[in-house]
Amino acid sequence: MTPATGALPVVAGRRSARVVARSLFALTKPRIIELLLVTTIPTMLLAQRGLPSARLLIFTLIGGAFAAGSANTFNCYIDRDIDALMKRTSRRPLARKEPLAVVKPTEALIFGVVLGAASTLLLGLLVNWLSAALADGAILFYVFVYTLGLKRRTASNIVIGGAAGCFPVLVGWSAVTGTVALPAVVLFAVIFFWTPPHFWALAMKFRDDYAAASVPMLPVVAPATVVVRKILFYSYVMVAATLALAPYAGWLYTASAVALGGWFLTEAHRLQARVDRIDAGPDGTGLADAAPAGAPRAGTPLAGLALAGSALVSSALVGGGHGTGTSVADALGVADTSAAADASGVAEGVCAGVAKPSANPAPMRLFHLSIAYLTLLFAAIAVTSVLPWGGWEALLRLF
């Protein structure tokens, strides 16, 4: 990658096989796959109550990685038009136009199909067909329900569509037991309720990107105060779901879940308090009150007006807190005399990173914490599963 942009180098004329391979690999979104596999391994350990065979672990992980890579490649193929409009995704291989494009859309589509077929055959023949069917279900759900059905239509897109990321725990459990039992369903619920706080925190940072692409993520169509209330609600439900696993997972996991849950809720409350302080404004009048209820979908003629109201909160976050005398023009990132709107109907200075949403540390703190939280929670599951003294029976023997 080039040092300045992090983008893949442009290849003139004949394409390099190495660069094509790197581009195809980038389409699978490997960082997302890593997080999915982090949930799969501890689930398998919990189902086995110990270490499954190395053969089963390897084939399940490879099959799961192929399935996730297939779904992500299809997602990049379908969303290549809006990826080109968003700064965060504009360097994805399919978002680039000729002659910068290294991979053609048809090639990416074929690659996604090959990965999906390989996942099905590998899991079906070498693990079991229930695991293969669940992996296929995850691909279909992510592509047809989330990417094609919900993402561009409703602010609830990630709430429902996020279920696709919960399937790896079902695949891992069924790989070991051949069934889907209640503990696997509880783990599914944990990840399901974890996804909205995790993703909305990211979307708060990149709300201008999503607005420019007319994707109605919740932070685009609702004031920050509404977003953080929903983040807090789902955070509490998520923590409650983690405790539902306590009877099965043991005392060590339970103690870890309580401590980690308290940590996560503290950070969620901190984010809400920060947004509420900014919303109150320097004189307590409420900076974000200008955001109308039921704000119109981004990309419509009224979207710029809706974003102007909610931008008061987001720009104040960027500015570092309340009490700065933020004006409407300052919140929009433009001078009083230049409140122009761009072609997408969003106020200039709010989109395309002009207002520097990346300077806002508050939601990104929760975003990064959410990854650490999920990793540590499933690490606790793994440790509890292999230690003989991590269960309730071992604790009871002490008394």
Same domain as 193, residue 155:
no
Same domain as 34, residue 145:
yes
Same domain as 187, residue 99:
no
Domain membership of residue 352 as a residue range: 181-392
- Residue ranges of the alpha helices (H) in the chain? 17-27, 30-48, 54-78, 80-83, 105-126, 129-140, 157-161, 167-177, 182-205, 207-212, 218-221, 224-243, 246-249, 251-280, 303-319, 328-332, 361-386, 392-397
> How would you class 365 by CB atoms within 10 Å of its CB: exposed for 0-12, middle for 13-18, buried for 19 or more?
middle
Answer whether the bond into residue 99 is a cis peptide, omega within 30°.
Answer: yes
Per the domain annotation, does 120 fall within a domain? yes
Same domain as 174, residue 88:
yes
Per the domain annotation, does 160 fall within a domain? yes
pLDDT at 121: 98
Same domain as 125, residue 263:
no
pTM over 0.85: no
Number of domains in the chain: 2
**245-301 pLDDT, tens per residue?**
999 998 999 999 999 999 999 999 999 999 988 877 665 544 444 443 344 444 443
Per the domain annotation, does 99 fall within a domain? yes
Same domain as 127, residue 143:
yes
Per the domain annotation, does 2 fall within a domain? no
38's tokens: 């982090």
Same domain as 255, residue 133:
no
Q: How far is CA 116 from CA 147, 169, 172, 290, in A?
A: 16, 18, 17, 47
> How would you class 232 by CB atoms within 10 Å of its CB: exposed for 0-12, middle for 13-18, buried for 19 or more?
middle
- Among 151, 179, 207, the domain boundary falls at 179
Per the domain annotation, does 108 fall within a domain? yes
What does the pLDDT average to over 1-27? 68
pLDDT at 282: 61
Per the domain annotation, does 12 fall within a domain? no
Same domain as 127, residue 103:
yes
> How would you class 356 by CB atoms within 10 Å of its CB: exposed for 0-12, middle for 13-18, buried for 19 or more?
exposed
Residues 6+ apart with CB under 8 A from 348: 332, 334, 338, 339, 340, 341, 342, 354
**344-387 pLDDT, tens per residue?**
333 332 332 323 434 456 789 999 999 999 999 999 999 999 98
- Among 155, 179, 203, the domain boundary falls at 179
Same domain as 173, residue 319:
no
Residue with the larger pLDDT of the pair 52 and 325: 52
**133-183 pLDDT, tens per residue?**
999 999 999 999 999 999 999 999 999 999 999 999 999 999 999 999 999
